[in-house]
Amino acid sequence: MPQFRTVLVTGGAGYIGSHCVVDLLDAGYEVVAIDNFANAVGDEEGSPALARAEQITGKTITFYKADLLDKPQINDIFDKHSIDCVIHFAALKAVGESMQQPLLYYQNNLLGMLNLLEIMRSHNCYQIVFSSSCTVYGEPEQLPITETHATGNITNVYGRTKYFIEEMLKDLSAADDKWNIISLRYFNPVGAHPSGLIGEDPTKEFTNLMPFMAQVALGKKPVLTIFGNDYNTPDGTGIRDYIHVMDLASGHVAALNLLSTNHVGLKVYNLGTGRGVSVKELVDVFERVTETKVPTKYVARRLGDITAMWADATLAKTELGWSTTRSIEEMCTDFWRWQTMNPDGYPKKNKTSVIVMNGKS
């Protein structure tokens, strides 16, 4: 049994959060999850993703619909449960939207984090895994990117919120050595749990490549829009380090294992495969493994996007004993399984709000 018993997962109903919860339950942790459903499907009665995580694992999750901007509400949850460690996923995360609504992003992501840290401290909980992002690196100076690469020269507001939080955690760690913090800088999570029961179900306009691509392959959208084919890359499209969401989930369990056995102060790790794949390559692999056709159209680059980015994840391998095991083909196959089993995503109440009685609505 791990040394930590109870883990609070903020943003637990979201795409990465729900997949991580599955791994945490499988590893023997008790999970308390919170979500405000800004980026996830659900309501007062709970989260379909977490209900399915319970189905996958045969274990139960304590869930609260809660918002980190509501401090008394979060305080009550810490009063009720003896939380050993927090994994903090909750954040607004759309690059394009962040450029249009910076105040919304600063309020939600920065204030939410401040409230969480203050409540953790008042409840003597000093262990946290923070969901950071490779966006903190900005346009890379060299590739692959190691954790020592400069941060802060960032091209979008979403990335800046992650960077400001990392700086906040640095200051906190320097001021009080009780804190035990790991920041995980994710590269580009894709794919879904191999059961097909949980996956990515965007609640906002489709901005992530794989859900958009799958919608086109299903015939629900006419064409995949690719932003930019004039980048300085072999095929002109942007290059990213796509990582299977279940590999990403196992990285969080590895981070918890390190925190529970060591006082690390503050550590930062890249979570990526170490391989750059272009948007066009990903579309080609997706078409091949799913035996579908994805019509594409190229439009101008998106404000805030960078050319190429992939990780050097050696440090995570050395210190966390973690590395990725799933291929690009598996990322595509697993996502397609989720999408074909759930063509409209999770069941949403508002889509079936018309009740038919006696043949009349």
Pairing of strands 180-186, 127-133: parallel
Residues 6 or more apart in contact with residue 219 via CB below 8 angstroms = none
The 3-state secondary structure of 130-155, one letter per residue: EEEEHHHHCCCCCCCECCCCCCCCCC
**What's the rounded Cα separation, in Å, for the pair 130 and 86?**
8
**What's the rounded Cα separation, in Å, for the pair 294 and 178?**
51
DSSP 3-state of 207: coil
The conformation of residue 253, written as its DSSP 8-state character, comes to H
158 classed as catalytic: yes
| Cβ neighbourhood burial of 81 (10 Å; 0-12, 13-18, 19+) | middle
Catalytic residue, chosen from 15, 64, 158, 231, is 158
Q: Which amino acid is at 33?
A: A
**What's the rounded Cα separation, in Å, for the pair 232 and 235?**
8
Active site residues: 158
